[in-house]
Amino acid sequence: MDEKIAPHLEELTRALGDIDKTGIRAEFDKLLAFHVPPEVAKETILRKFGGKRKVLKVKDLSASLKNFEIIGRILDIGEKALRPQEGVQAGPSKLYTGVLADETGSVMFSSWKELPGSVGDVINIKNAYTRLWQNRIRLSIGEQSLVSKVSDSSIPQLSELSKTSAKKLIDIGAADFSVNTVACILRLSHREVPVRGKQSKVISGVLADETARLPFTAWVELPGIDIGSIIRIEGAQIRMFRGMPSINLISSTKVSSVGVEEAEKLAFTFESAAKDPALLKIEEIASKDSMFDVVAAGNVVSVRPGSGIISRCPECSRVVLKANCRVHGKVEGVRDMRIKAVLDDGTGAMSVMFPRELAEVIYGKTLEEAEQLMFSDISKDAVYEDLRRILTGRYLAVRGNSSNGEYGVSFVAESAWVPEDDLAVRVVELLRRLGLDEEYPGSGVSRGGISLA
């Protein structure tokens, strides 16, 4: 070995492990072949495969993370033979998949190389990354990832991690695969759906406890259970859709009614859980990955481009641009209307989507009337500009579902209204914050002389 490069290779080995097996040595030699000085080549390799790597827990994982480190215990692992694709250079012949867990949750993983461990072992993964697969976060272990077996670890034992956790609805999220919970049924409906060419019965509805509400789907019968029932669910699957967890009751899920004596000890009743959700600050909504059926209020500070009259694909309802659907190609679009607004309550801001039914209500014009405005003005932006003029600054309350992504909080409104006590409550609160409430105690008069009585 060249004496000039030996110290650099030793340093890389200490920092990154077996550089020959991981292919890092080949990367180093390639840089040298391009006449890159050994010291510069070493620093380049360290930045690429080492760098300032974050050590994360499962609960910290989100979509599109790169170059992080994680330690977990293998709960499950299997391998799948890959069929080589015609015309594609030879690559890995096997894909290893399984579940990795720590004390904060569990996550599915896929690895393009064999791992130095089996079920029950703790492994350390460096230079890992994440991606979305079937609406769930998946931990990915690539060819350049460094994986080692950990002999001594604070990670809980396999028996503890394998237990199905009992959780309140507010705590259920993307890191959960199977949960136990106790909740009451707020809504319930039956329908038939096509599954593999056959019609299957499916039950769907909404569950609630004292902390939150979540949608559920049951592919099995629920005898004796109806709206108002308080039930214990054991071994339910958690599925994700647009960042929102949903409780899935399958054949292996155990569902039973909670007895009267036990129900009296719970922190909720059907009556309390069925009440309309309390108003939340936007900062509270932003602190969660997703929230189902929540209420917020704020001022419309912006009406975003893409609001107004749009065209949708008749097949998939995606927005059509220049008569082209990204899935079905050239189509004759169907007219629709929507509003994309930014709502701000002083604690935070979120993007709110209003579908046609709500857009027509808060805009004050139907789709047909908006089309007349567009045609009479001979401008495709006429409706958008009219929306900006009418809605900017308006104070609205919205109820719907939220998800927190790369670009902040997205909220899909299912209802919207102007709070009746809006003016009085907001002015009194403003006086309190300004320290002026003592100046006019009990008078119901603001500083500007506006009577609120």
Q: Tell me how far apart the alpha carbons of residues 165 and 157 are, in angstroms, rounded to a whole number.
A: 14
- State the Cα–Cα distance between residues 329 and 312, nearest whole angstrom: 12
279 token code pair: 């108003």
pLDDT tens sequence across 290-324? 899 999 999 999 999 999 999 999 999 899 988 89
pLDDT tens digit string along 39-75?
778 777 776 665 556 789 988 887 778 888 999 999 9
109 pLDDT higher than 90: yes
Within 257-412, residue ranges assigned H as helices are 260-264, 270-273, 282-286, 356-363, 367-377, 382-391
Residue 452 has pLDDT above 60, yes or no: no
Whether the per-residue pLDDT at 443 is higher than 50: the answer is no
Which pLDDT band holds residue 174 (cuts at 50, 70, 90)?
confident
Rounded Cα–Cα distance for residues 208 and 240 (Å) = 18
3-state SS of the chain: helix, strand, coil percent to 5? 25, 40, 35
What's the token pair of residue 222?
A: 């629920």
Check whether 444 has a pLDDT greater than 60: no
Average pLDDT over the chain, rounded to an integer: 85
> Do 244 and 403 form a contact (C-beta atoms < 8 A)?
yes
The three-state secondary structure class of 29 is helix
Query: Per residue in 111-140, pLDDT tens?
Result: 988 999 899 999 999 989 998 887 678 899
Q: What average pLDDT does the segment 242-263 reach?
A: 90
Q: Which of 8-22, 234-248, 428-442 has the lowest mean pLDDT?
A: 428-442
The tokens for 364 are 């004050």
The rounded distance, in Å, linking the Cα atoms of 216 and 233 is 11
pTM of the model: 0.68
The pLDDT score that the predictor gives to residue 447 is 40
Question: In the chain, how long is the greatest CA-to-CA distance?
Answer: 90
Torsion angle of C-alpha atoms 128, 133, 136, 140, degrees rounded to 10: -10
Give helix 24-33 / helix 6-16 axis angle, nearest 10°: 150
Average pLDDT over residues 234-254: 87
Which pLDDT band holds residue 342 (cuts at 50, 70, 90)?
very high
pLDDT tens digits, 377-416 = 777 789 999 999 999 999 999 999 998 876 789 999 999 9
Q: Per-residue pLDDT tens for 363-377? A: 999 999 999 998 887
Is residue 448's pLDDT more than 50? no
